[in-house]
Amino acid sequence: MALTMLAIAIMLPFSFLHQAGAACTGRNPVVFNFGDSNSDTGGIVAGLGYRFPLPEGRVFFHRGTGRLCDGRLIIDFLCESLNTTYLSPYLEALSSNFSNGANFAISGSSTLPRNVPFALYIQIEQFLHFKSRSLDLIDQGVTGLFGEEAFRNALYTMDIGQNDLSGAFSGSNGGYQQALERIPLVIAEIKSSIKTLYDNGARKFWVHNTGPLGCLPQKLALPRKDDTDLDACGCLSSYNKAAREFNCQLSTLVDALNSELKDATIVYTDIFSIKYDIIANYTKYGFENPLMACCGYGGPPYNYNQGIMCLGTGYSVCTDGSKYVSWDGVHYTEAANHIVASKILSADYSKPRVNFDFFCRS
């Protein structure tokens, strides 16, 4: 075929997604999201007052929105597939729209340590406050808020763990062994969070595993003695091996919880395989630079410099981000996110294999 999947996705920005995951019918879709910068729609800006000006958001929003991307994130495309609005950050004080849920994800978040802003544990606590406050206000006669049924029928999405793994590799004592030692602790936090949500009425969960950490320009640009750790795609094997181990343990956890929590449905989605396929077969998707940041400094092969990053001073930005997988060395471009979302919505990478909109119909 002359047209690549990317070209088709650009030509059919909504219909392709809707075919993969049909929009909800008969029930207002409600989504509560927890995670890090991969799904933060502006929480870090609202919570800490950071400014993310252009070129962030340049492709779709044409302004900075608090997303670390040139446009839409995966969670944005998933919301589009439901014909609903994008998720407002929980911490946004002005113009928030919580009619379709709320986003508790904050850039930089991890699971550990658990009692610091904005760890997963804190995000769950914020949700519990949100729910309690909503129910209290309903009892006082306030209308237009979520009741118990809406919270019970909502979908609870979670995408976290990347920063925990990244932190395990950093510092003089960091490395693969340190990552292996941290993984069970991270899995335990995710388990605790899911069970807390379950104990508070949640029954439908959508859990993303972590992507190929070793393919990020940020990691590839770190000094190394030689290239013996690079795989056939040019990614760091040790980082990806740790990510695969994390994903294996996360998959095992989801299987166990699906058996333990009899009336719950917990979907595990293999983001690693989706993203690694894009890196390995980048030309098939219309990309030219799978391991090089669009926005950064230093030029080929990675265009990433820890001291001169996108949003800093002195960076350069590519003309056409649709040719790049990586936006800033850590986060994906809108073009790459669109392809990831389309594969998620196919259900081919999910266990159990159900469509993203299953919670609207069950």
Catalytic residues: 37, 328, 331
What would the 3-class secondary structure string for 240-258 be? HHHHHHHHHHHHHHHHHHH
Beta pairing, strands 265-269 & 204-208: parallel
CA dist 334 and 337 (Å) reads 5
Nearest to 120 by CA among 218, 196, 210, 219: 196
Q: Name the token pair of 258.
A: 């699906």
195 Cβ neighbours under 8 A, 6+ residues apart: 257, 261
Q: What DSSP character marks residue 140? A: T
CA dist 87 and 276 (Å) reads 27
CA dist 219 and 243 (Å) reads 13
Please give the helix or strand (H or E) that residue 151 lies within, else none.
helix 148-153
Which residues partner with 33 through β-bridges?
103, 157
The C-alpha angle 53, 14, 206, rounded to 5 degrees, equals 80
Beta pairing, strands 324-326 & 155-159: unpaired
Please give the helix or strand (H or E) that residue 76 lies within, else none.
helix 74-81
Nearest to 270 by CA among 245, 247, 236, 237: 247
Q: Name the token pair of 1.
A: 């075929």
13 Cβ neighbours under 8 A, 6+ residues apart: 338
Under 8 Å between Cβ of 159 and 38: yes
